[in-house]
Amino acid sequence: MTDAPPDAAPASLGPAPVEVRGLVKRYGELEAVAGVDLTVHAGDVYGYLGPNGAGKTTSLRMMLGLIRPTEGTVRLFGRDPLESVQALDDVAGFVEAPTFYPYLNGRRNLELLGSFDGGDARERIEQALETVELSDRAKDKVGGYSHGMRQRLGIAGALLRNPKLLLLDEPATGLDPAGMRDMRLLIRRLAEQGMTVMLSSHLLAEVEELCNRVAIVRSGKIVYEGAIADLKRSAGATYWLTTTNDERALAVCRAQPGIEGVRTAHGRIAFTADDAAVAELSQALIEARALIQMLTPQTVTLEDLFFSLTEGDGIVNGGRPAGEPATLEASR
């Protein structure tokens, strides 16, 4: 796998690893999940994104059969996890932080997990420890592990099941930069080995680097699902503009066809447009005697698009230009 995620996952003839239709979860009057539809294809590294309280963790719990949906269906490789335990045969992962016995060492914790799973799970312990790079710490008590090591041990526990699909809830939350790098490299290695990965995260830069497809949820509903590359292409480019007469230029930008999201920030004009519209704008500015001093394209990021979809009107229009503050809390 290269540094940039692929535009699309390899085609698969079998059932999709995850297929969710009309998923709803209500707790009394509260509708935590309000009709989610998404499909994770074989080979995807799929990001599930949303602001605080958007219902991501609740959705993942339903996908794993941990709670029952109020409405809708979940299919894992074509099977309903609530109707058949075999639906989880090729699935592993964790929701929220993985939990271990702190007074036991890493290997012993995995031995217990392997015993619960049965079969040849215990025979994969050494390979799992090597995959997550914990072989040299396997004899240490988990109580002495860093947060990142416990997260990696959680993935090792999931790998004992030899899964085809790995579901991870905020796997990099709370990690320092080195831990985030290690987690990113680990997920890449698993994807290179052919595993399908679905992860929720609030670390948008990490998701953009790792994932080829995403679903963005707002108030329990999907507002975008598809390839990150397609989402970026649909947004157009964001531009910064300064001229010899910014007041006149601002009026021209707002009147010019194809120029969207016009606003001022940091003493500059910002807008989104495609190349053809920018060329027409340049001519209009000359005619208005607002000569261009700076016209700089800014590549739109997943963070820009996320905020446009979850804080704006749900229409991708280039989001926030670089330089404007943007924060996202870890969501549950």
Residue 324 has pLDDT above 50, yes or no: no
Q: Please tell me the least confidently modeled range out of 3-17, 28-42, 205-219.
A: 3-17
What is residue 61's predicted lDDT score, i.e. its pLDDT? 93
The stretch 222-244 carries a mean pLDDT of 86
CA separation for the pair 139, 230 (Å, rounded)? 46
Mean pLDDT computed over every residue of the chain: 86
User: Which range, 45-54, 101-110, 174-183, 217-226, is most confident?
Assistant: 101-110
Angle among Cα 94, 122, 124 to the nearest 5 degrees reads: 80
Which element (helix H / strand E) includes 330?
none
Q: For the segment 114-161, what is each residue's pLDDT rounded down to a tens digit?
A: 988 777 888 999 999 999 999 999 999 999 999 999 999 999 999 999
Return left, alpha or beta for 255; rule: phi > 0 is left, psi -120 to 50 is alpha, else beta.
alpha
Residue 322 has pLDDT above 60, yes or no: no
Residue 84, token pair as written in the block: 């058949």
- 207 in helix, strand or coil? helix
Q: Where are the alpha helices (DSSP H) in the chain?
A: 56-63, 106-117, 125-131, 147-159, 177-192, 204-210, 228-235, 246-255, 275-287, 302-311
Residue 316 has pLDDT above 70, yes or no: no
CATH class of 237-299: alpha beta
Residue 328 has pLDDT above 80, yes or no: no
What is residue 2's predicted lDDT score, i.e. its pLDDT? 45
Q: For the segment 148-157, what is each residue's pLDDT rounded down to a tens digit?
A: 999 999 999 9
pLDDT band at 304 (very low <50, low <70, confident <90, very high): confident
Closest by alpha carbon to 182, among 143, 160, 156?
156
How many Cα atoms are found within 13 Å in the side-chain-facing hemisphere of 132? 26
How many Cα atoms are found within 13 Å in the side-chain-facing hemisphere of 187? 33
CA separation for the pair 326, 309 (Å, rounded)? 13
What is residue 97's predicted lDDT score, i.e. its pLDDT? 80
C-alpha distances (whole Å) from 224 to each of 64, 111, 217, 234 are 22, 41, 7, 11
Are 79 and 87 in contact, with CB atoms under 8 Å apart? yes
What is residue 214's predicted lDDT score, i.e. its pLDDT? 94
b/e code 67-85 from CB counts within 10 Å (16+ = b): eebeebebbbbebebeeee
What percentage of the chain reaches a pLDDT higher than 90? 58
Are 182 and 133 in contact, with CB atoms under 8 Å apart? yes
- Identify which has the larger pLDDT, 236 or 83: 83
Residue 323 has pLDDT above 80, yes or no: no
pLDDT band at 325 (very low <50, low <70, confident <90, very high): very low
Question: Can you spell out the DSSP letters for 106-119?
Answer: HHHHHHHHHHHH-T
Residue 138, token pair as written in the block: 């396997």
Q: Domain residue spans in the chain?
A: 18-227, 237-299
Domains 18-227 and 237-299 share a fold: no
CATH assignment of 18-227, among 2.40.30.60, 3.30.360.10, 3.40.50.300, 3.30.930.10: 3.40.50.300
The stretch 175-187 carries a mean pLDDT of 88
Dihedrals φ, ψ of 34, to 5°? Answer: -120, 40
Question: 168 pairs with which residues across the strands?
Answer: 94, 199
Q: For the segment 200-222, what is each residue's pLDDT rounded down to a tens digit?
A: 988 888 898 899 999 999 888 89
What is residue 13's predicted lDDT score, i.e. its pLDDT? 67
Q: For the segment 56-108, what is each residue's pLDDT rounded down to a tens digit?
A: 999 999 999 999 999 999 999 999 999 888 888 899 988 888 899 999 999 99
Residue 33 has pLDDT above 70, yes or no: yes
Q: For the segment 250-288, what is each residue's pLDDT rounded down to a tens digit?
A: 999 999 999 988 999 888 999 988 888 999 999 999 999
